[in-house]
Amino acid sequence: MGRMRSDRRCGTVVTGVVLAVLAGCSSSSVHVGGSPSGDAGVDWSSLDASSDAGDAGGADAASGTCNLTAPPASTACSAFTSPAPLSCALAAWPAFPAVTATDLTAMANVTTTSVNGSPAGVLVSPDGTTVFDGDRAAASGELSVLARTGDALALDAFHYSFATSPTIEYPFGLALSNDGKTLGVGLTDRVAFFDVASLEAKVSGAFLGDVDTPLTGASPSTLDVAFSVDDTLFFGANEYESQVSVVNVSTMTYVGAIPIAANAVTGVVVSPDGKYLYVTSEVANAFVASGQGGDGGIAADQDVGSITIVDVATAGTSPTTSVLGQIFVGRAPVRTILSADGATAWVTARGSNALIAFDTTKFLTDPACALLSETPVGQSPVGHTFVAGGAAIAVANSFRFETPVPNGTIMIVDTAAALAGSSGAVKGQVTVGQFPREMSADPTSLFVSNFDAMTLSGIDLTNLPK
């Protein structure tokens, strides 16, 4: 069984040189945030969990100092040499045993819809009548528009097929503009934009255009995407390029690339105030350079990853100079979502089997105290999203490295309980298809893309116990 971690990890902000070497810090406050999406009627506290989460996170209230944890005896601080000094506890990020929880599948009224390829991004349309889905087939990619009734979907004849020459354009990340008018899609080496109203009406003219994002790696892809708050910029996480592409939506032009000191760039999210872009990467360069990486005896998928903090305003004109700092956030972190006020970042750490919470207000000023909690979840979590109006987070446990890959689960985590370190933070789980990857929710339903199963799952949130 897993347990909640409250130990503070030494941290540092890195911009090529060390900005802060952290030993102690003042106490941090806990921020509980939410999201407009979710189920307005579910009482998550009524559900029992079978996982043992353990002790609470937070600072030592009596001393006002963080409980920093020393490195393992076998790992000297001098081992972390690039840049020097790094966090003494960098190698101490835990990898929790995966947990299981109360089975809610029968109550969730799960529906399954087959699609024309491996689905990645999935989004509920602004009017709630439609679900958008990016499918990747063997030799093509397409955007599918599915009619929705409750949590059930109908794959009809309305699709948009992407180019197959000279490059097969595989769709991956999907994002809605903040005004709800535009759908952005991350492709192999470009991004595309669609008029949402036309997609919802299933009429021609939905395609607005695309923009090349020059990529030079052997396996180009745009894994996750996000609009700036004012919808003028579009960011794409280029997984194998150690960068984030920046596109000016207003002019439909490529601005440039934000350099990320990490490999496997997997997630982008913009703070609600529009100031910062947070970039999630699975493997921090500094961790590999320390000799503790995958080629240094550590297990596969156990490298420590990072969140890179980017100034959005600068990124729009000078991407190469827009990076403000970097913090380390667990083993193979893959996605980040933010509370409604932007003060709490929730990160799925695939290699840690954990959902990790951070205080974003401390990212640049006090990163040693940014860690709020670590909640063990299921095997290899990837996507996550807020449900129950932000009172809970749905986490997709992918099991993607098992052979054969079993059906995945969607685990419900109580937000406040996770922040408080409650042993009952994990409320239950719902079985879906193989390799659940991304999710999108509204007040009544949650939709899941099952990448290996080539299906979408619909979960009736209102059917869960009140």
pLDDT in tens, 14-69: 332 222 222 222 222 222 222 323 333 344 334 333 333 332 233 332 333 333 33
3-class SS at 388? Answer: helix
3-class SS at 162? Answer: coil
pLDDT band at 198 (very low <50, low <70, confident <90, very high): very high
Please state which of the ranges 242-246, 353-357, 361-365 shows the lowest mean pLDDT: 361-365
Mean pLDDT of 190-197: 96
CATH of domain 12-73+94-463: 2.130.10.10
- Give dist(CA 438, CA 237) in Å, integer: 15
Provide the pairing of β-strand 392-397 with 381-387. Answer: antiparallel
Indicate whether 84 pLDDT > 50. no
Record the tokens describing residue 289, joined without a space: 């350079």
Supply the pLDDT for residue 287: 74
Query: Residue 121's CB: how many other CB atoms inside 10 A?
Result: 27
- Give dist(CA 406, CA 429) in Å, integer: 15
Side-chain half-sphere exposure of 254, counting CA atoms within 13 A: 16
- The most confident of the ranges 151-155, 317-321, 328-332 is 317-321
Share of the chain above pLDDT 70, in %: 76
Indicate whether 164 pLDDT > 70. yes
Cβ–Cβ < 8 Å for 19, 87: no
Cβ–Cβ < 8 Å for 456, 107: no
Helices (H), 296-409: 312-315
Q: Scanning the structure block, which residue is given the tokens 């971690």?
A: 5
Strand partners, 347: 336, 356
Q: How many helices (H) and strands (E) does the chain have?
A: 5, 30
Query: Residue 365's CB: how many other CB atoms inside 10 A?
Result: 13
Cβ–Cβ < 8 Å for 108, 101: no
Supply the pLDDT for residue 421: 84
Strand partners, 247: 234, 254
- Give dist(CA 464, CA 462) in Å, integer: 6
